Amino acid sequence: MSLRESALVSVVIPTCKRPHLVARAVESALRQSYSPIEVLVVVDGPDVETARALGGIEDARLRVIVLEENVGGSDARNLGVREACGEWVAFLDDDDQWMPEKIEKQVDAAWDVLLRHPVISSRLRAYGPDGDQVLPRRLYATGENMGEYLFCRDSFFYGDGMLQTSTLLAKRSLLCEVPFVSGLKRHQDWDWLLRVAARPDVEIVMLPEALTLMRTGGQGESVSQGTDWKTSLAWAKQVRPTMSAHAYSFFIATECASRARKCRAGPFVQGQLFWEFLWNGRFGLKQFVIFMSFCLLPENLRHKLRSLRQ
């Protein structure tokens, strides 16, 4: 067995009160064609049903860590990294699944990277009530400005640029040096990517295959789909030095303005966001059109336009 075929990969899955979903995620991790693997499920707080569901999976590669209290996704992932035995760590959200060859293809790609810290991603297949599509529509180009890639869009349709958490494979040493920000409620993956992309010893590679299955539009609202525009705006202001003015304007338009509309914020809030959009971003016709579409177009109309595009 060669070195690249023997390096242990630790899969870290944070979860909270979604027993049937996390059991399915674990099974997809244990079915990987790459065999040197361990799966660590971090149960974020007391959760009898999840512990029972995971107890029914008989596999020595599975470890379950039940926390005494809820700490949130960032801290749950960080704890999983600290407990991991592998040289590599791959993250899997509890409502996502992997294709069987996901880890094998990513490990192969990682060993071909010359820099000290490879970060390997891939496309994913998003499925749900609104349809099935392969995302992102545009691959990340190694060395590309991360904020520009993640936030700048050609339209108000989600998915032009994306490096979703369940697609990421990285060295444990990098994740110990650059952990997820403790207590961060939202945008945990974007925050981490902006910080690691700025390091000269990191190379981020995206594989063109869709190796992850991402569930969308299920029962219950995920944190990423929440309507709390204030949290998104506060985070954007905090990480503004890591973003170009161009990317910042797009973020205010697509994340903050859209969340404010969903929670029926009034004209004063939209005016506040528009001022932030102009003053600390870079004004352009495309950003302006997208901002106004999120402020004025009803969500059901945007969904119809999205379905026509698909």
Distances (CA, A) of 280 to 14, 238, 272, 277, 283: 35, 12, 12, 6, 9
HSE-CB of 287 using CA atoms within 13 angstroms: 22
Cα–Cα distance, 241 to 245 (Å, whole number): 9
State the average pLDDT over residues 58-69.
96
Which pLDDT band holds residue 177 (cuts at 50, 70, 90)? very high
Predicted TM-score (pTM) of the model is 0.89
* DSSP state, residue 242: G
Shortest CA distance to 11 belongs to which of 65, 62, 57, 59? 62
Cα–Cα distance, 251 to 234 (Å, whole number): 12
Cα–Cα distance, 125 to 109 (Å, whole number): 20
Q: What is the mean pLDDT of the chain?
A: 87
Residue 228 pLDDT exceeds 90: no
Cα–Cα distance, 30 to 290 (Å, whole number): 42
Shortest CA distance to 20 belongs to which of 58, 63, 49, 60? 49
CB 153 within 8 A of CB 294: no
Could you report the per-residue pLDDT of 235-294, keeping only the tens digit for each? 999 999 999 998 998 898 888 887 877 776 666 677 678 778 777 777 676 776 776 676
Distances (CA, A) of 190 to 66, 67, 136, 276, 280: 26, 25, 15, 20, 19
Residues in the chain, total = 310
Note the CATH number of domain 3-215.
3.90.550.10
67 residue type, one letter: L
User: Where are the chain's structural domains?
Assistant: 3-215, 226-309
